[in-house]
Structure 1
Amino acid sequence: MASMIQVRDLLALRGRMEATQLSHFLNTPQPMIDAMLERLEAMGKAIRIQEEPNSCLSGSCKSCPEGKACLREWWALR
C-alpha cells in the first residue's frame, strides 16, 4: 500500500501521470490513489490536467455513450 508521499514523489519523478498509471506503479487500488490525489489537490500540492473535449482525434466523443470517458486526465505537482 502506497502513501501520499510516495504518490507525490512519483509525480515529481515522472512529471505528470494518469491515476491508473500511479495505481499500477505503486501497486495500490485505484480508489485509494484517487482519494490521495484529491487530497493532494485540496492541499494545493497537485493539479488535475484535463484533456480538452475538442482534442478528440476520432471525433466520436460527442456521441460517446459513456459521457466522454475517452478523455484523459493527468496529475502533476504544482
Structure 2
Amino acid sequence: NGKRVKRGLFKDKVVNKIVNANLNGARNICILGSKKAQQRYKAGGENRWLNFKLCNPIKVESDFELCRLIAS
C-alpha cells in the first residue's frame, strides 16, 4: 500500500504518511512472522495498527523485553 519515496523513506498511500523504511520493514516482519501480530493487525484494521504504533512508541531495554511484549 505504498512506495519508496527515496532511500530510507516509504510513503504509505492509505494513511498518506512517510515513514522510515526500516520501521516499515520491521512492521512487515511482525505481521508475517507472528500469527498473534497478524490477528491484532487484522482485528484493529491496517491503518489503526500502524498509527497506534507510530504515535505511541515504547522504550525497550533489551531484545528479551521486546520478545516478551510481542508475545503478550
TM-score (norm 1): 0.28
Higher RCO (Cα < 8 Å, 6 or more apart): 1
Q: Which has the larger radius of gyration?
A: 1
Structure with higher helix content:
2
